[in-house]
Structure 1
Amino acid sequence: MINRFYEALSNKENKMIEIRRYLHAHPELSFEEEKTAQYISDFYKDKDVEIKTHIGGKGIYGIKVTIDSGKPGKTLALRADFDALPIKEDTGLAFTSKNEGVMHACGHDAHTAYLMVLAETLIEFKDHLQGKIIIIHQPAEEKPPGGAQALIKDGILDGVDNVIGVHVISNLESNRVYYREGNVQSGRNIFKLKIIGQGGHGSSPHLANDPIVAASSFVMSVQTIVSRKLNPFDMGVISIGSFDGKGQFNIIKNEVELEGDVRGMNEETMQLIEDEIKRISHGLETMYGVKCDLEYHRDYPVLYNDPTLTKQVANAIRTSNIKEINSVERTEPLPPSEDFAYYAKELPCTFFYVGASPKDKQTYPHHHPKFDIDESSLLIAAKSVAAATFDYLGVKS
């Protein structure tokens, strides 16, 4: 049965690619994915499954598909995200985005396409299964607070034992699957700092109090948190992504606003960085005589892969003899954050990676206007998750 299942997936590879290309051409931003959600739910309409839409409440387009074998067993959830990014596409692909300024620049179109076809095939073979499989089509992974929290609050994990997720990665070699146990992707916090001084004329700085000077000091000082406060063996990153100090060349502004991004690979690091940023902002008030208004928000947590489940999934894929996979490798931790981490705070979960570096052209990173993937990664993702699912549910033949 398993070999027939893999053959069925191979026969549907073009269908996966077709769905991926349609989604790529019709991207929608986080929390705005109404048409994408309709496209996905329509796909399941005539299939022998239970479909629930608008999981997550008003303005959230989560979809839950339940594949019930009718036999006792565990319940496994498989999750894929389907939102896009506010990026103007510059790939030149025949199926380039039709929505100006919106692009699938992270691979969520591929995630959705592989999972739709995998789910369809699991439905066709469900008499050979046991237990239940929950298909989670999740919106709004890219934009805080993320879609996962809303889906969880609305009960999408009720009765679920474990969750598996996959991400295609453009800078990892194709035809390979990558995994890691423990903390595998960084947590993320965000902050805004408004520094209020006293405006004035550039010719008379003594009659003003320049907030740009104080803000510049802040930018340099926070970098010492990583270099001088953090254990050298711990990962931490602080990036100032926005410095709104634009004004007239000869005018001292009354206030400036900074926005920043914080990453860390454990909660202790994230707490240390938060404490230090608050301390430095308070110090600016004394040192420069300005007023600091800091908004600091805890965002996506560190993604933790359950070691037992991760080992089980990796071994299942490794021993499945999937012809398209050259190797199954343990990867180093990945710096980006991922809201799959919220599922992992609720249940033992694992999140693994499928290499998708294009074979015939330059590779660009995720969130780049020229981002693209090797589309063979879709079939590999589908077969890998199928192997993990069969092993998890105890399907042997």
Structure 2
Amino acid sequence: MKKRLAILGAGESGVGAAQLALKEGYDVFVSDRSKIKEKYKSVLTGLKVEWEEETHSEDRILSSDEIIKSPGIPDTAPLIKKAHEKGTPVISEIEFAARYSKAHFTCITGSNGKTTTTLMIYHLYQKAGLDVGLAGNIGQSFAKQVAEGDREYFVLELSSFQLDGMFDFKADIAVLLNITPDHLDRYEYKMENYVASKMRILQNMDKNGAFIYWADDEFIPNAMKNYSIEAKCYPFSDTQELKEGASLNKIKEKLQININNQTFEMSIHDLALQGKHNLYNSMASGISGRILDLRKELIRESLSDFQNIEHRLEHVTNVHGIEFINDSKATNVNSTWYALESMGKPTVWIVGGVDKGNDYSMLFELVKDKVKAIICLGNDNQKIVDAFGDKVGAIQQAKTAREAVTKAYELATKGDAVLLSPACASFDLFENYEDRGHQFKTAVRSL
């Protein structure tokens, strides 16, 4: 008799999971509480999978042998609670797909920087000629890719929500970039719960695995004391000299990676992405390459010619000597801290949107040092005005991307930068952060 599988959520991961489950002989039912996008409906219909939208047929779902749920559905959802009470396994698409993949997994998580680092490592592996796929919290569904043809390597970006639904999965190389308060509403507003979620990237790793982590993080080194870690540990730091791992030689201004008594060096000025946070991303990527014994010259090339993703510290253009930078993906204060920290010019900062309970105090010193004026882009900007009113020369308000760009351009002078790094969600004025970034770029190019 076929094993019955219910898939909750008919987005990229859910539809990919359905495709793989069919291939592996499951009886598949897909259910989504929201309306399913037409492109996914047509895929499901083409697969002859039974599906429903704008409802959950609880009896049908709870009679399944196993449930795959979208990362967006919290464990506290009533249907998930009922499944747990019944003893029905509830897993993520990543957990499911990994059962059917023989690949070597390099997995990246962290509160900030994981997308950039994932793409950087993927770029490095591609350049080395490895048979590699890119999946997880980015790009095409992991399950879909496994269904269509397994790879020798997968680089997986993993959110805490995905990690929460992973139990038997084992990373070969695990990268933990940082842990800062985020998504605490999903973790009973307890930081220790969120930290434990991120540390799940270590589960099932053995002595053949490698764990790459930021040695200067506020939470990671302390959390590691609570785990029996069999994997080989490779820390990275710009403040400590490390016998093994990656560190910064401040005198030579070089990134240094020491692994198996071999040293790799590279000038930090040759890195494609500048700024302290991108140094960390480059360190983690370089370590992963050296663990696989990729050629030093190849790693040097990859770290120097990598192009960052859209909406993440993306150089848009220069207009009369003023640089415009799109960092719309910065939807929390910590991401914006990294953006401001990387700025080497006087900056007009565009900030605002839907505030997720932001504490702006960590930005005060950076704003005093680097920001000459602020443009608030949002419906309710009072909190930003109150926080920074006495720290910059001018604060102005805008309701559209075009208005924000025009005002920023008027306040900037040759040699300055205009930085869109909102520190907030986008839903008050835009569809999502991509829409916000695209409107910003369109407005800049129309100056």
Same fold (TM over 0.5): no
Q: TM-score, normalised by structure 2?
A: 0.23
Q: TM-score, normalised by structure 1?
A: 0.25
Q: Which has the higher contact order (CA 8 A, sep 6+)?
A: 1
